[in-house]
Amino acid sequence: MTAAGERLVPQPLQGLRVVELTHMVMGPTCGMVLADLGAEVIKIEPIDGEGTRRLLGAGAGFFPMFNRNKKSVAIDLRRPEGAEAARRLGASADVVAENFKPGTLVKFGLDYKTLSALNERLIYVSHKGFLPGPYEHRTALDEVVQMMGGLAYMTGRPGDPLRAGTSVNDIMGGMFGAIGAMGALIQRGITGRGMEVQSALFENNVFLMGQHMLQYAVTGRAAAPMPARESPWAIYDVFTVRNGEQIFLAAVSDAQFKAFCSAMGYADLQSDPALATNNQRVLARPQLLATLRERLASHSADELAAIFEAAGLPFAPIRKPEDLYDDPHLSATGGLADIVVPDGEKAGQTVKTTLFPIAMDGSRLGVRLQPPRLGEHTRELLAGVGYTAQQIDDLREQHVVA
What is the mean predicted confidence (pLDDT) over 239-254?
A: 97
Domain spans, the chain:
17-209+329-397, 231-321
DSSP 377: T
What is the mean predicted confidence (pLDDT) over 33-51?
A: 97
What is the mean predicted confidence (pLDDT) over 327-344?
A: 95
Question: According to the model, what pLDDT value does residue 31 have?
Answer: 98
What is the mean predicted confidence (pLDDT) over 303-324?
A: 97
Please give the share of the chain, as a percent, with pLDDT higher than 90. 96
- What tens digit of pLDDT does each residue of 141-168 get? 999 999 999 999 999 999 999 999 999 9
What homologous superfamily does CATH list for 17-209+329-397? Crotonobetainyl-coa:carnitine coa-transferase; domain 1 (3.40.50.10540)
223-232, 283-292, 306-315: the lowest-pLDDT one: 223-232
Res. 5 pLDDT band, cuts 50 70 90: low
Q: Mention every residue, 6+ apart, whose C-beta is less than 8 A from residue 345.
A: none
- What tens digit of pLDDT does each residue of 90-104 get? 999 999 999 999 999
Helix, strand and coil percent figures for the chain, each rounded to 5: 45, 15, 40
DSSP 401: B
Query: Which CATH code is given to the segment(s) 231-321?
Result: 3.30.1540.10
Angstrom distance (rounded) from CA 57 to CA 340: 19
What is the mean predicted confidence (pLDDT) over 372-391?
A: 98
CB-neighbour burial class of residue 395 (10 A; exposed 0-12, middle 13-18, buried 19+): buried
Question: According to the model, what pLDDT value does residue 57 have?
Answer: 94
The residue length of the chain stands at: 402
Please give the share of the chain, as a percent, with pLDDT higher than 70. 98
Q: Mean of the per-residue pLDDT values for the chain?
A: 96
Res. 4 pLDDT band, cuts 50 70 90: low
Angstrom distance (rounded) from CA 259 to CA 135: 52
| pLDDT of residue 1 exceeding 50 | no
Angstrom distance (rounded) from CA 32 to CA 62: 12
**Phi, psi angles (nearest 5°) of residue 143:** -65, -35
| pLDDT of residue 6 exceeding 80 | no
Furthest-apart CA pair in the chain: how many Å? 87
- What tens digit of pLDDT does each residue of 177-214 get? 999 999 999 999 999 999 999 999 999 999 999 999 99
**Contact by Cβ (8 Å): 122, 93:** yes
**Phi, psi angles (nearest 5°) of residue 198:** -125, 135
User: pTM, whole model, 2 decimals?
Assistant: 0.94
